[in-house]
Structure 1
Amino acid sequence: MTTNTQASTGPVWDWAAGHGPVTGALSATTGCLAVATTGAATGMPPGWALTIGAAGAIGHTISSLRERLSTRTIAMRSASWLIGAGWTTWAMTTGPLTWAAIGSLATIGVGMGAAARSTLLYEEARELEAIAQAERQVARELSAERRAIAAEWVDRVQRVCNITLRILAVEIWPTGTGFTIDAELPPGGTTYDRIAQHSAALSADARLPHGCTAVASQGVHQGRVLIDVTTVNVLSEERTYPSDYRPLSIYTGIPWGYRTNAEEICVYLREQCALVVGPTGSGKTNMVHVVLAGFARTTDVLTWVIDLNAGSAGLSWVRPALDANGAPVDGVRPGIDWLASTYEEAVLMLDAALAVGLRRKVAYQDLMAERNTDQLPISAKIPQIMLVIDEGAEILTSTDRRMKDLAKKILEVIRMLRAMGIRTVLTALGATGSVLGNLMIRREAKARVCLTGGEVEGMDLSKVFPGSRGLKVDQAPFKGAGFMGTPESTAALFKNWRILPNQIRDIVLATSDMHPTLDDISRKAAGDAYASRWDPDRTAWMRDTTRTPATDAPAQTAGSTGALNLSALRNEAAEPQTDADALAREFMAQIDAQFGTTREPGQTKDQGPQGLNLSALRDDAGAGPEWLPSAISAIYAAGSEGMKPAAVADAVGRGRESVRKALKAAAERGELIYRDRGPHSVYVHPDHA
């Protein structure tokens, strides 16, 4: 049998709730009436009511003192008990059911309610005033701390920089790791650079811990300066990559690390390229993984990776999505969209990128006209392609013929495909003129990272961040720490997160459904090279633990093509040395001794015989005329002063016009640096730039 229970729609009483002014007064008066009536009927002595009332008054006084209530509240509560006890005693004597007794009890109840309401409001106001007083005390203490900081730094800047500041505000960082000073510069054309160049001196004068700095930057206008002072070294501790893998976008920024104030720093790469510089042991490989992790979380980016060092930068992001046979794992997509570990695969990737960019320029004209923009609208349907090239800066400066072919394609991608949503992230081993001498890198890679790890050699921060002052390598002696600058954020100390292989696998699995797919127009332009990139035969090297991609191709023998088996084209370190090899080397030595009269390009007559003039040992493609090496050597010998084109022409014995053309082409390739000084213009070697 089923019983239907109908919910009551009447008022609901909360019996656990405390009494208010009305219910408290009603409860007290009805209680007094009940006691008086019962006492009169049973003949209870009237003095008991007074005794109970006095005990209640004493008890409430003690409890109110413990609660630190006001004297007004304590008096009201005690008086309520005594008045109620007095009325009960009188009513028991004269009769509680008379109109006089009931009327007087009602009057007492109204008085109790009004007094209770008044004291309640008073206690609330008293409590709010106490809170406000505490807040004012904290504000006074904080204001005093800020005033002390302001006075201290006014004296310090005057002492170190000989500049008198007028400090307008001091903001304490919520993280508790430092503060920012907002100051007005003195009149007379003083700029913030005057303070920025004394960053190290200010830090030393303030006795800041190692890894903490005082960095000056631009204020809201040119007459203001912001001084960020770090007091806690957050760079010394190791922090793992955040486990919050929420989706990102190329437009909203991608976090690459955190500043000394513990805030994340993001890069915006829709139109910019990026450059990551770091010597061996500085944490550059970990930084590459942080970059790939950020791209894996974006919903409008596909990542293509070129790493000619056996593809090590991208393997961890691919293997979780492939089984032992190279077949895709159900429901899992690689963290990167393409991985090239060999020269041949890199050529396919770069050719596909160029084909995609050129095709997009034509196919999406209507879409760009509809959106009224000259840039391709990037979205999950038309994703941006980010080319991450490990040690790509070294590829651009290599003299090897095959690397020069790759460099030419990389520069074409950088130069031509910005509007079509194809950008690059290049890494380099050092911040030297030979690496950063290429104008295209300096112009397009506006987001720059320089990991130092305490390394001093080959870390010229002025080449990575020209115009920035007060940056010193010894400020970031920790692995994974260095300097980072973007168009949105000036160059300053930062550190990237530590990311481990097991976390890379977690990111691949967690972000698998976030990755976009290449749009149909771009996929058709990329062709079969892109469509078959994950075929088992092209990914076999990822599962072969006995060989690396660099040794997969069989060595060419002398008899295979009928050509000379030249040692310049072999990897002799990988081949066993036999008696026949020794005999061949002795035979070649005898030939060189008797017939070695042909000079290599750039070799003078005084240098003597150098052996056969083998084309395998030269790089004629795009290297300029044969006298150019001698000209570059002369410019190198001139040091930082450089040489005028006329002086170079006299040194090599060539016409000035041809020399100017050759030197200009060498500067465009990054082999020289041109300093425009009008009639005194010179060419300088990158190592002396």
Structure 2
Amino acid sequence: MTTTEATTTSKNSKQKKSAGQGGPVWDWAAGHGPVTGALSATTGAFAVATTGAATGMPPTWALAVGAAGAVGHTAAGIRLKNAGRTIAARASSWLITAGWTTWATAHGPLTWQALGSLAVIGTGMATATRSTNLYEEAREEEAAAAEQRAVALELSAERRAIAEEWVERIRRVCGISVRVLAVEHWPTGTGFTLDAELPGGTTYDQISTRAAALSADAHLPHGCTAAASPGIHQGRTLIDVATVNVLETEVPYPSDYAPLSLHTGIPWGYRSNAEQIQTYLREQCALVVGPTGSGKTNMVHVILAGFARATDVLTFVIDLNAGSAGLSWVLPALNHQPAPGERPMRPGIDWLAGTVKEAHVMLDAVLRIGKQRKIAYQGLMAREDTDLLPIGPSIPQIMLVIDEGAEILTSTDKVLKELAKKILEVIRMLRAMGIRTVLTALGSTGAVLGNLMIRREAKVRVALTGGEKEGMDLGKLFPGTRGLKVDQAPYKGSGFMGTPESPAALFKCWRILPSQIREIVAATSERHPTLDAVSAKAAGDAYARRWDADRIAWMHNPQPTPTTPAAGQDEEGRRELNLSALREDRPAGEQGQEAEADRLADAFMREIDEQFGTTTEPTPKRERPQRPGLNLSALREDRPAEPESSEPSADGTDAVPPLLQQAYDAVKAAGGRMHTADLATQLGIDTTELGTELSRILRAVGVERPGKGTVRAGNGESRTGYLAETLSEAIRRYRNPQ
């Protein structure tokens, strides 16, 4: 007889299916319930009584065993702190069963009286066990609830203390008497949030503007703030108080490269409460500013990582700094050697432009895609009853990431201005068609944020400060948000971020390593969508052949800057005219200087015309075609072969620049007087370029413009007034250099 089995708290038995048979398998390790426990106890007692009666066992032995079991269970119940009724019920079960066994051994267990009484004992035992089990469960639940109430009471006391402390602090620092309705501790353990009710006629701005003072008054660690934001309605505010500076620690990019979607948000970093920041760029553009050393390049890679993980985004990258922002996402795929039967790896970005020329090709294709989508998908948008193109894996959104793109938009350089026009057209026209931009800049200055299009469309804004104060006007980048100080985020990769869904506040960007970039490229290769057929057709060969060997040769070139002849020389080193048509890769500063030189040259030639080189008769305005540049030997494909020797002839004719000789002959034939526009038309040259080149040619031999007194007659007196004489003097000096 085993009475313990009848009184043990039960666990549900599990039926298992045998691997070879379909029948149930007993779980002998499982405990007994009230019914199975009572059945086990009664059958055990019946077996002992039957065996004892047959073998002549002394009946008192069963009573002694039952008494020992009752004493043992009583001691165990006291140790487990069971209720008195539970201990009594278990001890009684042992004693009653032992008494029946003793009586049945002496008088015989095979009588109806013995069997009936055993059945009654078993039923009572099951009922008592069930009752005590329920009572014990209720006691355990009540004890847990009491413990929780004690903890809640302790937490409530802590929250009340925090609420009282901050009510007093806000009244003292901000002059506002608020009522704190709730205090919620952050799950990360790095701070808490106060839900406060504002007095009548007060807004949360009156608290947010004093965030720095509140933080100092609370003695918060550096990098921790007390930031107020809108509450559930305008009479409430939420005050986030960070007590642990999570921004000073470098956190690696999450290793979970799970699929993302543009519609559910793409994470760019985490707040001071360690919660991720989700960006929603279906309709918004983004602007990321940060000086050198603030972690802006790392931030660009984090952005590209999010786009690479998305199943409904294709990323186009423009980086005029040798394409450095996108090369890390392209080279792993280009250098990948697929095994037999393995599919080639796709780059992490869909297109990379590292030169102005390729950027123009890309932007032209993007504009064609957007305009064609407007026409081709009208029926789809009508069926979906929306004015926004339904974006998904079949029709992906194009995210155009332009490193230092804000500087391109504000540049005064002629070449970059043309690029800026196309970027602004993309931003202005293609929102509904699923084409958005992410621009970066070196600072949040007035020059960058002076463009209305940037301020209006770039609602997602990031300022990576890194402690840098120069050129970081947070008030311009986050208008209407006060209390933001650069010294609150002195760590690399930290700063402020604001979205339409969350106000500007402190944040930190993850650190992403080159090895992670390679892992993401490999992990997301099969995940990238393909450009829809309508867009691919509109983009044409410019898109289809973007990975052709001749267009990506520069990505594999270990010498990114090829050796080129100096300006003003041909491939063999001979001096030629240093024209814009001959210079394709020029620094932006040099291009700006040339634009200023063109303007001055044009003014110079107008001065010549007004003072000396025109007749008194009105000159009719002629319609003349716009020509791309000087029609000189460097630009003429059908020019005659040059002589092998570059030595000047005996009379010095070869030393005279061709343009100077042609201009002199034309002016001489016209009688020494000719309008600049007429001269340019006769020579087939643009007026501005004519002025630029003639000025350079004259300065090369020390001949100043007419009116300076440098061209003199034979008697030594100053002779001015005839353009022909000026050109003649320049020719003489070229032929007979001193």
TM bracket (short chain): 0.7 to 0.9
| 1:603-618 correspondence to structure 2 within 5 Å | none
1:495 and 1:442 mapped to 2: Cα distance? 23
- Residue 405 of structure 2 is matched in structure 1 by 392
- Residue 489 of structure 1 is matched in structure 2 by 502
Q: Aligned AA for 1:344?
A: K
Deviation, 1:407, is 1.3
- Residue 300 of structure 2 is matched in structure 1 by 288
The answer on whether the counterparts of 1:555 and 1:570 sit within 8 Å (CA) in structure 2 is no
Distance 1:250 1:104, change over 3 A: closer
Q: 1:121 aligns with which of 134, 141, 149?
A: 134
Q: Aligned AA for 2:204?
A: Y
Distance 1:84 1:166, change over 3 A: same
- Residue 321 of structure 2 is matched in structure 1 by 309
| 1:609-688 correspondence to structure 2 within 5 Å | none
- Residue 250 of structure 1 is matched in structure 2 by 262
Deviation, 1:317, is 0.6
- Residue 46 of structure 2 is matched in structure 1 by 33
Say which SS state the counterpart of residue 424 (structure 1) adopts: strand
Deviation, 1:521, is 2.3
Structure 1: 4+ residue segments shifted above 6 A: 566-574, 596-601
- 1:6-35 CA distance string (max 9 Å, x none): 9576x7654433232233333333333333
Are residues 1:221 and 2:233 paired? Answer: yes
Distance 1:115 1:341, change over 3 A: same
Say which SS state the counterpart of residue 232 (structure 1) adopts: coil
- Residue 651 of structure 1 is matched in structure 2 by none
Q: 1:186 aligns with which of 188, 199, 202?
A: 199
Instruction: Indicate the larger mover: 128-137 or 223-232.
Output: 128-137
Q: 1:343 aligns with which of 356, 360, 372?
A: 356
- Residue 680 of structure 2 is matched in structure 1 by none
- Residue 98 of structure 2 is matched in structure 1 by 85
1:447 and 1:557 mapped to 2: Cα distance? 47
- 1:433-479 CA distance string (max 9 Å, x none): 11221111111111100001111111111111011011111111111
2:520 and 2:181 mapped to 1: Cα distance? 45
Are residues 1:130 and 2:143 paired? Answer: yes
Are residues 1:557 and 2:568 paired? Answer: yes
- Relative contact order, higher structure (CA 8 A, sep 6+): 1
| 1:262-661 correspondence to structure 2 within 5 Å | 262-323=274-335, 330-548=343-561, 551=562, 555-558=566-569, 564-565=577-578
Instruction: Indicate the larger mover: 41-50 or 438-447.
Output: 41-50
Deviation, 1:263, is 1.2
Structure 2: runs of 5 or more not aligned: 1-18, 588-600, 607-686, 693-738
1:224 and 1:37 mapped to 2: Cα distance? 80
1:572 and 1:377 mapped to 2: Cα distance? 41
TM, length-normalised to structure 1? 0.78
2:422 and 2:451 mapped to 1: Cα distance? 14
Instruction: Indicate the larger mover: 468-477 or 68-77.
Output: 68-77
Q: Aligned AA for 1:190?
A: T
- 1:127-147 CA distance string (max 9 Å, x none): 221222222222222222222
Distance 1:453 1:100, change over 3 A: same
Q: 2:162 aligns with which of 129, 149, 167?
A: 149
Distance 1:355 1:18, change over 3 A: closer
Q: Aligned AA for 2:312?
A: D
Say which SS state the counterpart of residue 538 (structure 1) adopts: helix
Distance 1:387 1:125, change over 3 A: same
1:552 and 1:416 mapped to 2: Cα distance? 41
The answer on whether the counterparts of 2:336 and 2:344 sit within 8 Å (CA) in structure 1 is no
- Residue 37 of structure 2 is matched in structure 1 by 24
Structure 1: runs of 5 or more not aligned: 575-595, 602-613, 620-689
1:144 and 1:414 mapped to 2: Cα distance? 54
Instruction: Indicate the larger mover: 129-138 or 105-114.
Output: 105-114
Distance 1:312 1:145, change over 3 A: same
Instruction: Indicate the larger mover: 381-390 or 482-491.
Output: 381-390
Instruction: Indicate the larger mover: 88-97 or 346-355.
Output: 88-97
1:366 and 1:573 mapped to 2: Cα distance? 47
1:569 and 1:138 mapped to 2: Cα distance? 80
The answer on whether the counterparts of 1:324 and 1:543 sit within 8 Å (CA) in structure 2 is no
Q: Aligned AA for 1:297?
A: R
Q: Aligned AA for 2:195?
A: D
The answer on whether the counterparts of 2:449 and 2:455 sit within 8 Å (CA) in structure 1 is yes
Instruction: Indicate the larger mover: 330-339 or 135-144.
Output: 135-144
Q: Aligned AA for 2:179?
A: R
2:474 and 2:348 mapped to 1: Cα distance? 32
1:29 and 1:337 mapped to 2: Cα distance? 78
Deviation, 1:555, is 4.8
Q: Aligned AA for 2:248?
A: S
Instruction: Indicate the larger mover: 424-433 or 352-361.
Output: 352-361
Distance 1:496 1:572, change over 3 A: closer
1:513 and 1:531 mapped to 2: Cα distance? 19
Say which SS state the counterpart of residue 381 (structure 1) adopts: coil
TM, length-normalised to structure 2? 0.73
- Residue 632 of structure 1 is matched in structure 2 by none
The answer on whether the counterparts of 2:602 and 2:688 sit within 8 Å (CA) in structure 1 is no
Distance 1:341 1:555, change over 3 A: farther
Deviation, 1:537, is 1.0
The answer on whether the counterparts of 2:322 and 2:560 sit within 8 Å (CA) in structure 1 is no
Distance 1:314 1:225, change over 3 A: same
Instruction: Indicate the larger mover: 401-410 or 516-525.
Output: 516-525
2:41 and 2:293 mapped to 1: Cα distance? 81
Deviation, 1:320, is 1.3
Q: Aligned AA for 1:257?
A: G
Say which SS state the counterpart of residue 462 (structure 2) adopts: strand
The answer on whether the counterparts of 1:325 and 1:536 sit within 8 Å (CA) in structure 2 is no
- 1:337-365 CA distance string (max 9 Å, x none): 11111111111111111222222222322
Instruction: Indicate the larger mover: 211-220 or 145-154.
Output: 145-154
Deviation, 1:571, is 12
Q: Aligned AA for 1:143?
A: S
2:371 and 2:92 mapped to 1: Cα distance? 93
Q: Aligned AA for 1:152?
A: E
- Residue 189 of structure 2 is matched in structure 1 by 176
- 1:465-498 CA distance string (max 9 Å, x none): 0110111111111111111111111101111111
Instruction: Indicate the larger mover: 361-370 or 496-505.
Output: 361-370
Deviation, 1:99, is 4.4
Deviation, 1:116, is 1.8
Q: Aligned AA for 2:257?
A: Y
